C-alpha cells in the first residue's frame, strides 16, 4: 500500500487497504466457524461472522473502507473515486487501516 502511495496510486492503495482488512477478518471468521471463509467482501458482515469486538470507530472504519472495494472495482465509480482519493485522504485512511490491521493481527496471535 505504501509503495502505491509513493507512486500516487491512491485509489489502488485504498483498495488494497480493503483487501488486507478482509483477509485478516476472514482469518478470524475461519477460526470461529471452522469452515472456509464466506465468499463475501463486506467487512462489517465478516466482522459479525467472526464475532469481533470492535469499537464504534472501528465499525465505522469498516463501513467506509467497504466503499473502496466497490469504487475501485467498477468503472462507473472508479473515476470519481480517483478524484476523491487525494494523498491526504489516502494517508488518513491508511493510518487507521494499518492500526486496525495490527490490532487484529496481534489479537489473532494471542488467540492461538
Predicted local distance difference test score (pLDDT) of residue 111: 66
Predicted local distance difference test score (pLDDT) of residue 47: 98
Instruction: Say if residues 82 and 58 touch (Cβ distance below 8 Å).
Output: no
Residue written as cell 466457524? 33
- pLDDT at 103 exceeding the cut of 90: yes
d(CA 17, CA 24): 11
Domain housing 67: 2-111
In the chain, the number of structural domains is 1
- Ramachandran angles phi, psi of 82, nearest 5°: -60, -35
- Ramachandran angles phi, psi of 53, nearest 5°: -95, 100
Per the confidence metrics, is the pTM higher than 0.85? yes
Band (96; pLDDT cuts 50, 70, 90): very high
- pLDDT at 74 exceeding the cut of 80: no
With 0-12 / 13-18 / 19 or more C-beta atoms within 10 angstroms meaning exposed / middle / buried, residue 29 is: buried
Band (82; pLDDT cuts 50, 70, 90): confident
**Which set of grid coordinates corresponds to residue 28?**
478470524
Mean pLDDT across the stretch 32-58?
95
Amino acid at each position: 500500500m505504501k509503495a502505491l502511495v509513493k507512486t500516487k496510486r491512491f485509489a489502488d492503495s485504498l483498495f488494497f487497504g480493503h483487501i488486507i482488512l478482509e483477509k485478516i477478518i476472514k482469518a478470524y471468521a475461519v477460526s470461529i466457524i471452522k469452515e472456509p471463509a464466506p465468499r463475501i467482501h463486506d467487512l462489517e458482515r465478516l466482522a459479525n461472522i467472526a464475532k469481533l469486538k470492535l469499537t464504534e470507530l472501528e465499525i465505522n472504519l469498516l463501513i467506509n473502507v467497504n466503499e473502496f472495494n466497490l469504487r475501485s472495482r467498477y468503472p462507473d465509480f472508479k473515476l470519481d473515486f480517483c478524484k476523491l482519493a487525494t494523498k491526504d485522504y489516502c494517508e488518513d485512511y491508511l493510518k487507521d487501516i494499518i492500526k486496525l490491521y495490527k490490532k487484529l493481527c496481534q489479537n489473532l496471535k494471542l488467540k492461538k
